[in-house]
Structure 1
Amino acid sequence: MVTIPPKPWPTGLAEDVEPLVKRVLAPNPSPYTFTGTQTYVVGEAHGPDCAVIDPGPNEPDHIDAIIAAVAGRRVLAIMCTHTHRDHSPAAAPLAARTGAPIVGCAPLVLKSDLPRADESFDATYAPDRVLLDGEAMRGTGWTLTAVATPGHTSNHLCFALEESGALFTGDHVMGWSTSVVIPPDGDMGDYMASLEKLLAREDRVYHSAHGAAIEKPRQLVRGMIGHRRQRENQIMRLLGEAARPVSAFIPAMYKGLDERLIPAAEMSVTAHLIDLEKRGMASHKGGVWRSH
């Protein structure tokens, strides 16, 4: 288990990440968000305009901190990677204060909403423009191109900063933990395909919504793919021993897991099992899973 570092954290401070990027940490730490959600302001420090990526939770102090980081520039776009409640709820109040359009991922309304351990979806999210894979937003000295990466959520996007080779990865690839994939919207097959898509790219660095910058992104992504395949192999081995409910996988697969994270682990195993079922390798009846 990853330990959250001791305080103080740079909550509310505009940190220089690279010449075109500032980072502002939101005041929403938790076992699922690490020290909090990281909002990014992209644009020349003394230029006329900028974009805001993942405005975060609707917390007045955080919105004030974003406005301070904008430093008088025109906000051309408020861009959301996905619509979990720690990422997009500040979009509307920030748009009201800046006049900027909300741009990025599509809105998402689930037909069913199973109990979930991660941040739930933001039903208030209403974009002015949805970016498709490969579409871009441009400002003075900066270009942000959408990279569709479904899996963590079906509407997840990353944003590539073309001028510097940086990729803003939201929750798809994070600097502190693997991403949680939670059905019914999260899809393990899509998630693995999105990781393979990033592995084929040549981004210089990843800036995620939680945790430190990722300086060796392809190495990390390769490791994440290996980790997920290892989990799948564990599940298949356990199914080979005996049919079992999801809860019976956790003690064998997650040693010393914080009890608060057990629901997330169960959802992750469920996502793997659903993917295996789609591939004809497992099935379930009455809550009990078995191999084929």
Structure 2
Amino acid sequence: MDRLATVSTPVYEARSAWAEPTVDHRSSLLNRYGPPLAVDRAALDELLREAAREAGVRLVRAHAKPVAGPDGGWLVPGLENPVPVVVDATGTARAVSRARLRWHGVDRLRYTIWQTRPADRLPQPWSLVEAAPDGWWYSAPTPGSERLTVMQVQDTAGRAPQLPPPRTSERLAHRSLPRPAAQRVAVVGCAGPPWTAGLVAVGDAALSVDPLSSSGLRHALELAGPASEAALGLLHGDERPADDYARAVRHAFLKHLADRQFFHAAATRYQTAAFWSHRSDLEHMRLADAQSGHRSGV
């Protein structure tokens, strides 16, 4: 926990301007787990790698290649013998599993990230999510600094980043945003199933969710146990743990789609705008397709 504190900062209140222009305030004081944490993901990943090394894991930076033939396995430069099972933890790139696992794609969103300063130097240990006609905005304290992380999420076919909506702009003292720190694409979907002989997908390679939920890391951690049991089962020729893992991923995906549908519908003031109407029109169909097992690629 001490290590985690070095790469995170607590968020004591969640604020939202979603269904109405007024701001809803939700304190974390009654949360039995304590306040949520805003995490520096790159720093957290390094901590996880360090913890794995301390547990006896050998870190090898190389590309795994499948072995042709009946015995299968994977060749990893630096290792003498083929590896029988590979775990794909390459995120939404799905570098290992993209060509081997079917994917049910639901949506693609573009998000732009800025690192900037708030309106004043006083601590702002709260997050803000705000709906806008062309998408939604999120801002929260940046771990280890006095800066804010500001994110805009919109359609991949949308225009260039827009001006922040009123509440976000007020938080920034109505200053112009600096040059974006990053622009990425968020994919909403899941592998179905997230495994095949000699391969198990984990994290975003197995289940990638809408940034609105802030649950990608939580899903990865919750499903890590079943994923490791799946990999161990495949090592010993037992596919039952892998099937259990597939059901857990599918359950998490369907719950995410239902929650996503609820929150999109709640932004009633912008339902006629293209970003929101597009998702409202297709949300029922996508959820029904996912429940029936239909799979498509995005």
- Common topology (TM > 0.5): no
Give TM-score, length-normalised by structure 1. 0.29
Flag the structure with more relative contact order, 1 or 2, with Cα contacts below 8 A and sequence separation at least 6.
2
Which is greater in Rg? Answer: 2
More helix by share: 2
